[in-house]
Amino acid sequence: MSLAALALVLGAAGLHAGWNALAKRGGDQVVFLWLATLASTAVLLPFGLWYLLGSGVPAAAVPFVVATILIHALYFYALGRAYASGAYSLVYPVARGLGVALVPIVALLVFDERLSPLGTLGIVLVIAGIVTLHLVPAGGVPGGLSAAALLWPVVTGLTIASYSLVDKAGVSRLNPVPYMLLLEGGCAVLGLPLLRLRGAAVRRELERWPAIVLAATMSALAYTLVLFAFRLSKTGYVVAARELSIVLSAVIGSLWLREGRLGPRLVGATIVLLGVVCIALAR
């Protein structure tokens, strides 16, 4: 991986862990995330529009843009539900780790792509890390994530695996900046009916508009950096470096969000990260 690609991905990791922590602090996490998507669209509009007016959208990119909008809409909803059901420092590593681990499993089932020993070890480590996090106490209660609470992080992980595959192909056909604008704008439009149904929650969340704008800016910038990194380096290297955010989530959750002791969270998150690195390097 080049130094430029590494710098982009490490910056994205810090930004990603940060905006997710802000989303966790929202009163209604689903509403917070969709308001942040609206704000992200506004942030990206002048930059993405300049590209679109100059070159338009290639026909080859349209299926990927439509697919990523639909997948990201489900991702934002699932992520909001996940944070409503569990601690940030437990939900985040599960969702991110599964997002990487599921890709080679799906490839095995669908394309009959055999797993290498290193890739198999990586999946085992991700599962072991998730089990470790499942045993971490949350608020003094043994068992950080119940079986029911694991549902939404798992769905989030599935969407992460899906949009990662789609977006790798999408940005090879369209510049990442207008790609991000179309992605965020499409998600914002799909979320409008939900915001209308939750009018009271929208008004409450808008009282925290500085946090929404900050999260939106961090989110848009983080994924734009990743999309540019996809153009500079192999997907596996980008994915591995980006998931440093898994360890950061343990630190942020424990020290800033006061979710519990750092040690057990850091152990589980580090095991997940090691598994992600093995999977990424095995590709």
Rounded Cα gap, residues 226 and 229, in angstroms = 5
End-to-end CA distance of the chain: 14
Rounded Cα gap, residues 43 and 215, in angstroms = 11
The CA–CA distances, whole Å, from 51 to 44, 72, 174 equal 11, 22, 10
178-198 average pLDDT score:
89
Which pLDDT value is given to residue 78? 92
Q: What digits encode the pLDDT tens for the residues 148-181?
A: 567 888 888 889 888 877 887 888 899 888 998 9
Which pLDDT value is given to residue 7? 85
State yes or no: pLDDT of 141 exceeds 60: no
User: Which pTM does this prediction carry?
Assistant: 0.80
Rounded Cα gap, residues 4 and 77, in angstroms = 33
Instruction: Provide the token pair at 246.
Output: 């898994």
161, 226, 218: which is closest to 1 by C-alpha?
226
Which pLDDT value is given to residue 75? 92
Q: What digits encode the pLDDT tens for the residues 227-279?
A: 788 777 776 677 767 778 888 888 888 888 887 778 878 888 888 878 877 87
Which pLDDT value is given to residue 235? 67
The mean pLDDT value of the chain amounts to 82
CB 128 within 8 A of CB 271: yes
When mean pLDDT is compared across 68-82, 182-196, 241-255, the lowest value belongs to 241-255
Residue in the block written with tokens 């595959």:
165
Instruction: Provide the token pair at 28.
Output: 């209604």
Which pLDDT value is given to residue 60? 92
User: Who has greater pLDDT, 148 or 43?
Assistant: 43
Rounded Cα gap, residues 215 and 165, in angstroms = 24
Which pLDDT value is given to residue 134? 66
State yes or no: pLDDT of 223 exceeds 50: yes
Q: What digits encode the pLDDT tens for the residues 199-211?
A: 888 999 988 889 9
DSSP assignment, residue 139? T
38, 30, 21, 76: which is closest to 204 by C-alpha?
30
Q: What's the one-letter identity of residue 163?
A: Y
Which pLDDT value is given to residue 64? 95
User: Who has greater pLDDT, 121 or 106?
Assistant: 121
State yes or no: pLDDT of 27 exceeds 90: no
State yes or no: pLDDT of 73 exceeds 90: yes
Which pLDDT value is given to residue 70? 95
DSSP assignment, residue 260? S
Which pLDDT value is given to residue 92? 85
DSSP assignment, residue 116? P
59-80 average pLDDT score:
93
Which pLDDT value is given to residue 145? 54
State yes or no: pLDDT of 22 exceeds 90: yes
